[in-house]
A and B are shown apart, each in its own frame.
Chain A
Amino acid sequence: MPFLEFSNVDYSYPSGDDGYIQALKSVSLAVERGEFVALVGCNGSGKSTLARLANGLILPDYGVVSVDGKSTAEKSNLYEIRKKIGVVFQNPDNQMVTTIVEDDVAFGPENLGLPPAEIRERVDWALDCVGMRDYATSGPTRLSGGQKQRVAIAGVLAIKPELMILDEATGMLDPDGRKEVLDVVTRLNRKENMAVVMITHFMEEAAQADRIIILDRGGVTADGGRELFQTPEVFTRAGLDLPVYVRVAQRLKSAGADIGCPLSVQDFVAQAARAVKGGGERRD
């Protein structure tokens, strides 16, 4: 049984006077423990709706969302589900409950009713994980966007969920902040074996994931590993831009120099260098 499972989920929300907008149409997908999934799609593709369905903030009109075999439709399951699935939202300012970093991180474990000593331990651990221990007693107003979002991640982490969903958590950050958050999340997945679902429209971020799910107008149009980047049509059809290095590699391929499919700038440089050297040797 998969850890997080959507089966035939429909969801629509009222919009204006003219009825409803169908955000999701019979979506079925599953995420296993320890996976690192990127969920990509352009605005209005329903990706944020998916995040809110996963921990029962909203309920599907049709179909079932279940976590560890428990349906979100059952109200008594929600507390257990939210212990297992943590969600980090887009705006770090709207996720902080108090004015001191460590107090905010403690909010989750306090809700779990843990003894004070264990809460302390978890808060210190979570702040260490995101590299914000030095700021434990400062106020969030003095932090940068990336730092605030790391605190928000620590706040979710302190609950020790098995799956963390980042709902465009890097959307409001500058490139440095995005990298900070991405590094933290990647490390958590590798070291703590925490499953991660990263909702994003930055393809460079999606390329870090082991599995990519493409959402287009409320439906899943592609679901696979990084090899998806070799079929760029699936991205462009969903209105998504490929990373620059992937596009350059494609142009090179159509010009007769196949360097494979790079997954990061470093990858691209390495593959291109190998191809150039290889080409040079042949010319000799």
Chain B
Amino acid sequence: MRDMTIGQYYPSNSVVHRADPRFKLLILILFIVTVFFCESFFSFGFMTFFVIVTILLARVPILKVLKGLKMIIIIVLITTLLMTVFYTDPNSKPLAEWGIFHIYLNGIYAAIKLAWRLLLLVLMPTVLTLTSTPTELCDGLESLLSPLKKIKFPVHELALIMSIALRLIPTLIEETDKIMNAQKARGAAFESRNPFKKIKAMLPVLIPLFVSSFRRADDLADAMDSRCYRGAKGRTRMKKLHCRVSDVVALLFWCAVTVCVLFLNYNWFGWGFIAVLGL
């Protein structure tokens, strides 16, 4: 439970750390869209290359980044497996068959692409949270969404809720550990192999966690009130967001990457070798 990497900032002074959080968020959105555009292995490889470059530029330990993947590795494995055995391709013969399960060559390719896509989709947000503080992210989000204020959308409140949620993740994990230990001391069995029993055993953990979360929320609200919080009204920021030339360059660069991926996907110019590599 303590290995959660999402929402954990890794302090450093790299180019990626210093970049404007608004641009980082925009690039992330662009990246996610592009990952969904990826069709060929060539384009996946191309994207992965730039992700690795970003991680190297961010100077965060690879181990920290990989820890972020640990959470979803089981989901990736299960979906890959299901994709492999249930993929049907009417145009070719299956490589193997057991009852309702078939394995096609194209099925294997599709499964690998799915896994690759999922891993890319988790990697970049992990890099984002490792290189930007929750405050930066929230300020960035608030600034990006600020046009919505015109239609009375509570942008500031939304950003603050997100910030507090990120802030409380480690605290609640710690609390869960404490409660689980307390219940273990009273004889609760969390190690049961039966999944239903396991879920039932979690109930006495969840209820105290709920109660204490509400108490925490009350305390935090009091502390915020005491520190003159009045919502967005008349509030200023210590750290103003500054957009630099390098931020714009980075965004344009990722736009170029997206265009390249579109080219690599489709054999528009009759480049046979890309079609071959693209499988």
Contact = CB atoms under 8 A, between A and B. Distances in A.
A65 to B, nearest CB: 15
Contacts of B135: 98-100, 103
Nearest to A87: B226
A108 interface: yes
Given A99-B9, A100-B133, A113-B234, A159 B220 contact: no
A89 interface: yes
A167 to B, nearest CB: 10
Interface of A: 52, 55, 57, 79, 82-83, 86-87, 89, 91, 93-100, 102-103, 106-116, 119-120, 123, 137-139, 141, 155-156, 159
B133 A113 contact: no
A116 B229 contact: no
Contacts of B166: 99
3 tightest CB-CB pairs across the interface, nearest first? A94-B219, A113-B234, A106-B238
Interface in B130-183: 133-135, 163-164, 166-167, 170-171
B236 interface: yes
B9 A93 contact: no
Given A111-B235, A114-B236, A138-B11, A93 B171 contact: yes
B97 interface: no
A97 B11 contact: no
A95 B229 CA distance: 13
Interface of B: 9, 11, 133-135, 163-164, 166-167, 170-171, 216, 219-220, 222-230, 234-240
B228 A108 contact: yes
A22 B267 CA distance: 80
Nearest to A93: B171
Nearest to B225: A57
B217 to A, nearest CB: 9
B219 A91 contact: yes
Contact of A123 (B171, B236, B238): B238
Contacts of B240: 116
Contacts, number: 102
Contacts of A112: 228, 234
A86 B223 CA distance: 10
A95 B223 contact: yes
14 contacts: A55-B226, A94-B216, A94-B219, A95-B220, A97-B167, A99-B167, A103-B133, A110-B237, A111-B227, A112-B234, A123-B238, A139-B9, A141-B170, A155-B227
Contacts of B235: 110-111, 113
A91 B220 CA distance: 10
Contacts of B223: 87, 89, 94-95, 97
> Which of A52, A94, A112, A115 has the most C-beta atoms of chain B within 10 angstroms of its own C-beta?
A94
Contact of A116 (B134, B224, B239): B239
B11 A137 contact: yes
A111 B229 contact: yes
A89 B171 contact: no
Contact of A100 (B9, B171, B229, B230): B9
Given A99-B9, A108-B227, A116 B237 contact: yes
Contacts of A120: 238
Contacts of B222: 52, 57, 89
A98 B227 CA distance: 14
A96 B227 contact: no
A4 B85 CA distance: 74
A96 B163 CA distance: 11
A119 B240 CA distance: 11
Contact of B228 (A82, A95, A106): A82
Contact of A109 (B224, B225, B238): B238
Nearest to B229: A111
Contacts of A114: 236
> Which of B224, B230, B238 has the most C-beta atoms of chain A within 10 angstroms of its own C-beta?
B238
A97 B240 CA distance: 18
Contacts of A137: 11
A96 B238 contact: no
A35 to B, nearest CB: 20
A218 B238 CA distance: 42
A107 B227 contact: yes
A83 B234 CA distance: 14
B268 to A, nearest CB: 47
Contacts of A159: 227-228
B226 A110 contact: no
A116 B236 contact: yes
Contacts of B164: 97
Given A95-B223, A116-B237, 9 more contacts: A91-B219, A93-B171, A94-B220, A95-B220, A100-B135, A103-B133, A110-B236, A116-B238, A139-B9
